[in-house]
C-alpha cells in the first residue's frame, strides 16, 4: 500500500487562485510569486485610458513587429497618503497554492469563517473625486480607476517622490451625513475614516 504522501506526490499539480498584492514587492509566505512590477494607469489629468490599474512587469517583452506611436500610455502610480505619500507603488502577482477561489472584501479586517485563508489585508484605494473650491466635480480632471486593496504595510519603489502627473491612489471612505447618495447604514459606517479590506482565498 502506498504511503499517503507518496500518493499525493503522484497526483498532478493543480494551480491555485491568482491575485495582485498592491503596494508590496513580494508575496505572503503561503503563496508563490508569478511576477512583480509597478502599479500603473493613465495620467490623472486624462479622461482616457483604461478604467483599471495594471501591474506592469519589471521585465517587459516586445513583439518585434509592434506598432509605433500608440495613442494611449501607462504611467507610474503613486500613493497619496501616509509615509509613502508621492512615492511610486510596487505590486506583485501571486498564486495561492492549491486554494482555487480568491476574493477581495471591502470594509473587513478578517476573512469569512470556515476554510478561508487570509492572503493579506490593508485599506481600500482608488482614484480621487476631484472637486473645485466650490465643491463641484471636475469631470474633465480625473479618470475612474478600479478599487484595489492596498497592503497595510506599503512599500515604495524608490525613496523619492516624483511629479504628480501619473495616476494617484487615495484611501477610500464611506459617504455618510449630508451628502448626495449617502449610505443609509451610517452608523455602522463612518464618514472620513479609511475603509479596510482583506484578500482571502480557499
pLDDT, tens only, 122-142 = 999 998 776 655 555 555 456
Lookup: cell for 156: 515604495
Band (pLDDT 50/70/90 cuts) for residue 143 is low
Of the candidates 79, 77, 92, the one whose C-alpha atom is nearest the C-alpha of residue 19 is: 92
CA distance linking residue 10 with residue 23, whole number of Å: 37
More confident residue, 152 or 41: 152
Residue 154 has pLDDT above 90, yes or no: yes
Checking if the pLDDT of 103 tops 70, the result is yes
- Confidence band, pLDDT 50/70/90 cuts, at residue 90: very high
Q: What is the pLDDT of residues 48-75, one digit of tens each?
A: 777 889 999 999 988 998 888 777 888 8
The full DSSP string for 97-137 is: TT---EEEEET-SSPPSSS-EEEEEEEEEE----B-TTS-B
Question: pLDDT, tens digit, for every residue of 181-194?
Answer: 888 899 999 988 99
Q: Name the more confident of 23 and 7.
A: 23
Q: Which has more confidence, 178 or 121?
A: 121
Amino acid at each position: 500500500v502506498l504511503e499517503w504522501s507518496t500518493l499525493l506526490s503522484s497526483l498532478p499539480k493543480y494551480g491555485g487562485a491568482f491575485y495582485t498584492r498592491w503596494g508590496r514587492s513580494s508575496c505572503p509566505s503561503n503563496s508563490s510569486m508569478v511576477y512583480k512590477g509597478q502599479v500603473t494607469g493613465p495620467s490623472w489629468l486624462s479622461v482616457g485610458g483604461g478604467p483599471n490599474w495594471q501591474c506592469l512587469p519589471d521585465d517587459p517583452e516586445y513583439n518585434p513587429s509592434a506598432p509605433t506611436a500608440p495613442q494611449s500610455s501607462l504611467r507610474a502610480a503613486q500613493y497619496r497618503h501616509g509615509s509613502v505619500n508621492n512615492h511610486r507603488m510596487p505590486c506583485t502577482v501571486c498564486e495561492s497554492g492549491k486554494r482555487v477561489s480568491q476574493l477581495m472584501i471591502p470594509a473587513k479586517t478578517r476573512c469569512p469563517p470556515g476554510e478561508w485563508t487570509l492572503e493579506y489585508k490593508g485599506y481600500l484605494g482608488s482614484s480621487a473625486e476631484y472637486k473645485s473650491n466650490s465643491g463641484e466635480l471636475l469631470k474633465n480632471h480625473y479618470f475612474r480607476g478600479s478599487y484595489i486593496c492596498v497592503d497595510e504595510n506599503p512599500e515604495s519603489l524608490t525613496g523619492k517622490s516624483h511629479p504628480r502627473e501619473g495616476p494617484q491612489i487615495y484611501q477610500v471612505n464611506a459617504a455618510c451625513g449630508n451628502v448626495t447618495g449617502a449610505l443609509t447604514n451610517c452608523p455602522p459606517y463612518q464618514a472620513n475614516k479609511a475603509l479596510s479590506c482583506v484578500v482571502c482565498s480557499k
